[in-house]
Amino acid sequence: MEKYDPVICECANITRSEIIDLIKKNNLFTVEEVADESAVAGMCGACIEKIESILNEVYDHLLM
Pick the binder of ligand FES from 26, 43, 56, 57 (CB under 6 A). Answer: 43
Coil, helix or strand at residue 47: coil
For position 7 contacting ligand FES by CB under 6 A, the verdict is no
For residue 64, the minimal CB distance to ligand FES (Å) is 28
For position 21 contacting ligand FES by CB under 6 A, the verdict is no
From the list 19-27, 39-47, 53-61, the region that binds ligand FES by CB under 6 A is: 39-47
